[in-house]
């Protein structure tokens, strides 16, 4: 089952939060969805889930919209950071509701995960700590065998030990029932190893969409005076560049040996986290991180 986004835009009030996005999510891949706060990550997931309606364009699930075939949306599950549960709901109520809505929900697996994390099913969800809430949400998400799993910061509020534990749970879920995963996260270095492709959003637009392998092997930062840098960039695949008073920093993809560059240039390979920082640096420096968990 594939999901295709065509010319997708979303405006809220006077603010354009998603801008002309074209994207195909293919079967059985794990996508890392990266971006600063307010870049549009959460909004993109909500539009895919039909929680938000696009202002322009459309989302196709196997060639049809969710409005045309709402049953197709049952093959998608969205782990959101929004508060969506009734105030008095107990953890066991959430498990029961999931089992009644998703025929593919593995109740035994969910209870096993809850036990692993020492979570009492009789406690009210809203009495839990943020860490416990995240573990409950992940236990639910990783027990429903749907074709698409959309995860908005599943490690929110977790320490490094528990983040790695839920990544193992995620991979076990994919092994039990192969699925496509879209994982939004700020902890890039921890998830790189199991991602297939990376999507970097900035200001509601796709800045980069490529395989992790290609980005990891070919992303290079080029620094130097304007003329030699511009000469070197001729014919190169440029992801982004910044000019400051005769000096240029550019991020490119190249398979060339960086040692072959001109002596007046500085070239360095970038890992995925370094690439993300370089490409979204202007947002970070401008204080673009907002309060929304985007």
Task: Give pLDDT, residue 106.
Answer: 97
Exposure string of 3-38, with b = 16+ CB inside 10 Å and e = fewer, is bbbeebbbeeeeebbbbebebebeeeebbbbbbbbb
pLDDT band at 286 (very low <50, low <70, confident <90, very high): very low
Task: Give pLDDT, residue 71.
Answer: 78
pLDDT band at 69 (very low <50, low <70, confident <90, very high): low
Residues contacting residue 67 through CB under 8 Å, at least 6 positions apart:
50
pLDDT band at 6 (very low <50, low <70, confident <90, very high): very high
Q: Per residue in 145-168, pLDDT tens?
A: 999 999 999 999 999 999 999 999
Q: What is the DSSP letter of 144?
A: B
Radius of gyration of the chain (CA): 21
Residues contacting residue 118 through CB under 8 Å, at least 6 positions apart:
none
128 vs 138: CA distance, rounded Å: 14
- In this predicted structure, the answer to whether residue 80 has a pLDDT above a threshold of 70 is yes
Tokens of 233: 């960039």
Q: Per residue in 90-114, pLDDT tens?
A: 999 999 999 999 988 999 999 999 9
- Residue 75 has a CB neighbour count (10 Å cut-off) of 17
Q: What average pLDDT does range 118-139 have in this prediction? A: 97
- In this predicted structure, the answer to whether residue 18 has a pLDDT above a threshold of 90 is yes
What integer best gives the mean pLDDT of the chain? 91
* DSSP assignment of 242-286: EEETTEEEEEEE--S-GGGS-TT-EEEE--HHHHHHHHTHHHHHT
Query: Do 45 and 182 touch, CB atoms closer than 8 A?
Result: yes
- With tokens 């297939």, the residue in question is 196
Q: What average pLDDT does range 199-226 have in this prediction? A: 94
The alpha carbon dihedral of 239, 244, 245, 249 has a sign of: negative
- 60's enclosing H/E stretch is strand 56-61
Task: Give pLDDT, residue 283.
Answer: 44
CA–chain centroid gap for 151, Å, is: 7
pLDDT band at 288 (very low <50, low <70, confident <90, very high): very low
């Amino acid at each position: 089952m594939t999901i295709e986004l065509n010319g997708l835009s979303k405006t809220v009030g006077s603010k354009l939060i998603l801008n002309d996005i074209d994207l195909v999510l293919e079967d059985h891949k794990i996508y890392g969805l990266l971006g600063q706060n307010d870049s549009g990550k959460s909004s993109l997931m909500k539009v895919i889930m039909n929680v938000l309606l696009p202002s322009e364009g459309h989302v196709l699930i196997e060639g049809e919209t969710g409005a045309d075939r709402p049953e197709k949306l049952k093959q998608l599950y969205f782990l959101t950071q929004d508060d969506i549960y009734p105030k008095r709901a107990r953890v066991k109520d959430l498990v029961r509701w999931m089992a009644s809505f998703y025929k593919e929900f593995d109740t035994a697996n969910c209870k096993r995960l809850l036990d692993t994390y020492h979570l009492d099913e009789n406690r009210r969800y809203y009495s839990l700590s943020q860490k416990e809430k995240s573990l409950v949400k992940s236990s639910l998400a990783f027990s429903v065998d749907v074709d698409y799993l959309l995860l908005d910061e599943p490690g929110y509020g977790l320490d490094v030990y528990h983040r790695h534990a839920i990544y193992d749970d995620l991979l076990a879920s994919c092994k039990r029932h192969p699925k496509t995963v879209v994982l939004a996260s700020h902890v890039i270095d921890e998830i790189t190893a199991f991602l297939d492709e990376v999507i970097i959003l900035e200001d509601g637009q796709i800045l980069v969409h490529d395989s992790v392998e290609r980005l990891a092997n070919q992303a290079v930062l080029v620094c130097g005076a304007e003329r030699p840098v511009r000469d070197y960039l001729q014919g190169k695949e440029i992801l982004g560049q910044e000019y400051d008073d005769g000096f240029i920093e550019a991020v490119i993809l190249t398979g060339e040996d960086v040692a072959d560059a001109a002596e007046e240039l500085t070239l360095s390979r970038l890992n995925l986290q370094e690439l993300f920082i370089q490409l979204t640096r202007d947002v970070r420096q401008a204080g673009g991180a907002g309060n929304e968990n985007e």
